[in-house]
Amino acid sequence: MIHFILMPFITAVKIQKFKKRVNIYLDGKFAFGLDLESFVRFGLKVGGKLSEEQVNEITKKAEFQKVLDRLLIFATLRPRSEKEIHNWMIRKKVNENIKKGLIDRIKNLDLLDDRKFARWWVDQRVAFKNKSSRDLDYELRSKGVAKDIIKEILAETQVDELGSAKHLIEKNSYKWSHFSGIIAIRKKRIFLARKGFTWDVIRKLTG
């Protein structure tokens, strides 16, 4: 005897409260929710048949696209390190089953490269924050960048530590203007040391 497996029909499609998602009903019962773009992309309509395997595939692809769209916004606001992307996925409670696919996708889009990220970070922090090499090293390590990449990028950049330190002293000169010479020098040295500058740089600027 031949047994036929009857696939359920889509009996209703109802727009959710916020109108960006729809609820799909199979044989009169709620089956799953879906964003409107995926609903259109998969060509779903009332009267169509869906197997359990098709439902699983549709919901998986829809979830992937939904998370990818949000991830692309995060990844294009500024360059990101791989650790930042992983931390974002943890915060957003992204399903473990799609994490690798998401990482692969943004890598293919040239949006994830720790070496490029490190080079951008160093350029920005030196130009706008006058960071020392020591501070840059610490920041990049906190972003999950490998030690060998950090060493390579810092060597390529050749940070002008003396120039950065001098700019910071000039920018913050008001902080020490009302102190006597020796006290002012001591405070400047403490300030620069906390910013990660070497004693050699500090000595050249403060005597």
2: confidence class by pLDDT, cuts 50, 70, 90: very low
According to the per-residue pLDDT averaged within each range, which of 16-25, 33-42, 103-112 is highest? 103-112
Domain boundary among 9, 24, 50: 50
pLDDT (tens digit per residue) in 130-156: 999 999 999 999 999 999 999 999 999
pLDDT at 3: 41
197 vs 3, residue with greater confidence: 197
Alpha carbon separation from 148 to 105, 111, 154 (Å, rounded): 25, 21, 10
Q: In the predicted model, is pLDDT for residue 166 greater than 70?
A: yes
- Contact by Cβ (8 Å): 57, 64: no
What are residue 76's phi and psi, to 5 degrees? -105, -5
User: Mean pLDDT across the chain, nearest whole number?
Assistant: 91
The confidence score (pLDDT) of residue 159 equals 86
Indicate the residue among 10, 25, 50 that finishes a domain.
50
Residue pair 167/136 in contact (Cβ under 8 Å)? The answer is no
CA angle 70, 147, 90 (to 5 degrees): 25
Q: What is the pLDDT of residue 196?
A: 93
Residues 62, 53: Cα–Cα separation, whole Å: 14
Amino acid (one-letter) located at 76: T
What integer pLDDT is reported at residue 6 of this predicted model? 67
Mean pLDDT of 27-55: 88
Q: Do 189 and 173 sit in the same domain of this protein?
A: yes
Name the nearest CA neighbour of 61 among 85, 39, 76. Answer: 39
Which of 9, 28, 50 is the last residue in one of the domains?
50
Domains in the chain, number: 4
| Mean pLDDT, range 117-130, rounded to an integer | 95
pLDDT band per the 50, 70, 90 thresholds, residue 36: confident
Same domain, 166 and 147: no
Cβ contact 169:205 at 8 Å: yes
Residue span of the structural domain in which 25 resides? 1-50
* Residue 168's CATH number: 1.10.10
Separation between Cα atoms, residue 168 and residue 132, nearest integer Å: 11
- Torsion sign (Cα): 171, 175, 178, 182: negative
Q: Which residue has the higher pLDDT, 6 or 46?
A: 46
- Please report the pLDDT score of residue 4 as a whole number: 42
pLDDT in tens, 72-84: 999 999 999 999 9
User: Which whole number is the average pLDDT over 93-106?
Assistant: 94
Is residue 106 within 8 A of residue 72, CB to CB? The reply is: yes
Residue 12: pLDDT band with limits 50, 70, 90:
very high
